Amino acid sequence: MHQSAFHFAARTRLPHQATLLSLMHPNRTLFEKQRALLRKAVPAGFPSPADDHVERRLSLDEHLIQHKESTFFMRVAGHSMRGLGIYDGDLLIVDRALPARDGCVVVAVIDGEFTLKQLCYTAHGRVLRAAHPDYPDVPIAEGTDFAIWGVVQWNVHKV
């Protein structure tokens, strides 16, 4: 639509502009170049019948990120979450704005170190649970230097 309108304008206006240019422009070569540019401006053609149906292409950012400001990426190191399909080297999409509910996979900080675990509310209080038989539950005892850094919303795994 847009392109063909421009093409039309360029063609009809060319003769007037050409006269004007040749009168006032001392630099012939530059003038020729500009005229050539106008001529080759846009190829003619029918407007695409799909023009009316153009929609925005899907964006992974939009799909995976709920809160732009509070979402961060991290890299997994280790195997303790294999049972939940989170493998060594995977890419985590972590949102700090989400509440850490029972069963959420969280990035937690224990004694100043990042750790990836599932947060579980049990009869004996909260525990950090691995998804691997070799790793026991870590209870969050009173007075532990502990904080939830963010909630893992997605895991990106290379197939």
Partner 1 sequence: MPRAIALVDCNNFYVSCERLFQPRLEGRPVVVLSNNDGCVVSRSPEAKALGVKMAAPWHLMREMAKRHGIIACSSNYALYADISNRVMRLLARFSPHQEVYSIDESFLELSGLPGDHIEYACHIRQTVQRDIGIPVCVGIGPNKTLAKLANHVAKQEISRGGTCDFNRLSASELDDLFATLEASEVWGVGRRTADTLKELGIHSVLDLKHASLHMLRTRCGVTLARTVHELLGRTSLELEDVTRSRQQIICSRSFGRLTASLTELEQAAIAYTTRAVEKLRQQGALADTLHLYLRTDPHRGEAQHEQASMVPLSSASDDTRRFCKAALYALRRIYRHGFSYQKVGVALGGIRPLQAHTVSLFTDDETERRSRMLMKTMDTINQRMGSGTLKLLGEGLEQAWAMRSDNRSPRYTTEWSELQTCRS
Phi-psi region of 78 (alpha: psi -120 to 50; beta: other; left: phi over 0): left
- Return the range that interacts with partner 1 (CB under 8 A); candidates 6-14, 39-47, 52-60, 61-69: 61-69
The answer to the question of residue 156 lying near partner 1 (CB under 8 A) is no
Length of the chain, please? 159
For partner 1, the closer CB: 51 or 134: 134
Determine which residue in the list 80, 129, 151, 154 makes contact with partner 1, applying CB under 8 A: 80
User: Under a CB-based contact definition with an 8 Å cutoff, are residues 105 and 152 in contact?
Assistant: yes
- In the window 7-36, what residues touch partner 1 (CB under 8 A)? 21, 25, 27, 30, 33-34
Say what angle helices 28-39 and 2-24 make with each other, to 10 degrees.
160
How far, in Å, CA of 120 to CA of 41, rounded?
65
Q: Which of 67, 84, 77 is nearest to 119 (CA)?
A: 84
Determine which residue in the list 53, 56, 63, 75 makes contact with partner 1, applying CB under 8 A: 75
Q: Going residue by residue from 91 to 130, which x/- string records binding to partner 1, judged by CB under 8 A?
A: xx---xx---------x-x-xxxxxxx------------x
Residues with active-site annotation: 80, 117
